[in-house]
Amino acid sequence: MKITTIIENETMETSKLYNEHGLCYFIEIDGLNILFDTGKSYKAYENFKALGLDNKKIDYIILSHGHYDHTGGLKAFLENIKCKPKIIVGNEFFNRGDKYHLKENDKKYIGIDFNVEYLKEKDLDIIEVKESIKLRDKINLISNLKGIKERNILEGEDALAVKYNNSLIKDDFREELVIVIERNDRIILITGCAHNKIHYIAKYIKNKFNKNNLIIIGGVHLSNATDKEINEVIDNFKKLNIKKVSLCHCSGHKIIEKLKEEKIEITRGITGIISEY
């Protein structure tokens, strides 16, 4: 499996690629080409071209959740690519409600800039993952992670809301979707933001697939986490025997430095990086 980071928050100093607050991976696995999230804007597609990937067929576009920084580049891809990928979203992606960031007396829309009708007009197949599906024998998509019993939104997450039945309520991210790859004695967990808490998701996935060796790739939404929350993640990573992670986007530098201290193998999936697993 090969993963190319098309765009995320940072890039190498010498790189001519765009960076932005967002995430987009291009995953090549078992004969499939998967775009996992689409970044915040057209810049993700521009990087896709600059990396020489625009001549490749995209079989699936998978959207990890309904925030703008993971979906805002979708239109640029669909208006420019010469194929018709299947669009995969998580549980209740289109009917949960508009998403907002609340701050003091202000609210900012942070949701998607398209609807299901836009995709249907382009004659694209749309797959909604209610709980789990398989793309191939060892390629799993898991959604509806709000069902994780221990789940508890990060202390700083109260400001992330969804408009439901004309009321703003705390977003439970029931549409959040992760990819789980089974490889011999290990599993690879790929996340967009892990709003449902990365260590709870990891524990759930390890138990579900009954394998001890877990690699975590993606964003884990800890850039604004407290020391207490960082330590909670580290403690649980140790209990789960997680030895290798590759972080980007919303993860934050604090968790990366802490992982280094704990001798857990850590790499950064910055823009333009190609990794093989």
Q: Is the pTM of this model over 0.85?
A: yes
Round to whole Å and give the CA distance between 147 and 196.
Answer: 10
The domains located in the chain, with CATH, are 2-276 (3.60.15.10)
Tell me the per-residue pLDDT of 132-176, one tens digit each, with 9 for 90 and over.
Answer: 999 999 999 999 986 554 444 444 455 888 988 888 888 889 999
Round to whole Å and give the CA distance between 21 and 40.
Answer: 7
Do 23 and 55 form a contact (C-beta atoms < 8 A)? no
pLDDT at 38: 99
Closest CA to 239 of 191, 203, 195, 190: 203
Mean pLDDT of 73-99: 96
pLDDT at 152: 47
R_g over Cα of the chain: 18
pLDDT at 191: 98
pLDDT at 146: 66
Tell me the per-residue pLDDT of 4-46, one tens digit each, with 9 for 90 and over.
Answer: 999 999 999 889 999 999 999 999 999 999 999 999 999 999 9
**What's phi and psi for 37, nearest 5 deg?**
65, 165
State the CB neighbour count (10 A cutoff) for residue 239: 11
pLDDT at 249: 96
Tell me the per-residue pLDDT of 90-121, one tens digit each, with 9 for 90 and over.
Answer: 999 999 889 999 887 788 999 999 999 999 99
Mean pLDDT of 85-92: 97
Mean pLDDT of 179-191: 95
Using pLDDT thresholds of 50, 70 and 90, give the confidence band for residue 212.
confident
- Please give the share of the chain, as a percent, with pLDDT higher than 90: 81
